[in-house]
Structure 1
Amino acid sequence: MSWTQARALWPQLSASLCQRFRHLNPTAMARFRGDRAKLNLYLAQTHDLTLAEAAQALDDWLAFSIATPDLQAAA
């Protein structure tokens, strides 16, 4: 799944991200609306990661989300 596709599915993916990364706030996630740069920064700040680590974590999560049946059905 590309980030463009992820943005189109933002409500579903936002909830999935909040489950995966427990320190993310659903209200804050709704404000980002799929903005990758803001999400990277927020993830780094809330999970004590560098920006590079946060970007890698998002890439890994996105790759995993492709294999998740609930998210595949939404696509």
Structure 2
Amino acid sequence: MQWSDITREWEVWSPLMRARFPYLETRAMNRARHDRKTFEAYLAHSHNLSLNEAREEIEDFLYIETLASELVPPQRAHSLQ
């Protein structure tokens, strides 16, 4: 999964990101979502992380969600695409 997949289906992914990163605010997320580096900077600031840590957290999120999508029954996987 790529960042572009997240931004393309923001309404699906933003609640999952907020579940993982509870200090994200909806308005700030919406402003930062179109540029991954901006989003990483916002994540770092809101969760007291370094930029490198925030980048790694986003990579982990993308990786985990990619794995999860491979395990989801076909009906749900199709609705996410």
Offset at residue 74 of structure 1 (A): 0.9
Structure 2, gaps ≥5 residues long: none
Which residue is 2:47 aligned to?
47
- Corresponding residue of 2:21: 21
Give me the whole-angstrom Cα distance separating, in 1, the residues matched to 2:17 and 2:8: 15
Structure 1: unaligned runs, 5 residues or longer: none
Taking structure 2 as the reference length, the TM-score comes to 0.78
The corresponding residue for 1:30 is 30
Count of matched residue pairs: 74
Q: Return the alpha-carbon distance in structure 2 between the equivalents of residues 34 and 60 of structure 1.
A: 19
- Alignment correspondent of 2:57: 57
The structure with higher relative contact order (CA 8 Å, sep 6+) is 1
1:17 to partner: Cα distance: 0.5
Cα distance, 1:24 vs. partner?
A: 0.4
Q: By how many angstroms is 1:19 displaced?
A: 0.9
If the length of structure 1 is used for normalisation, what is the TM-score? 0.84
- In the aligned structure 2, how far is the partner of 1:33 from the partner of 1:7? 6
Shift of 1:32: 2.2
C-alpha contact (below 8 Å) 1:11/1:30 kept by paired residues:
no
CA shift for structure 1 position 14:
1.3
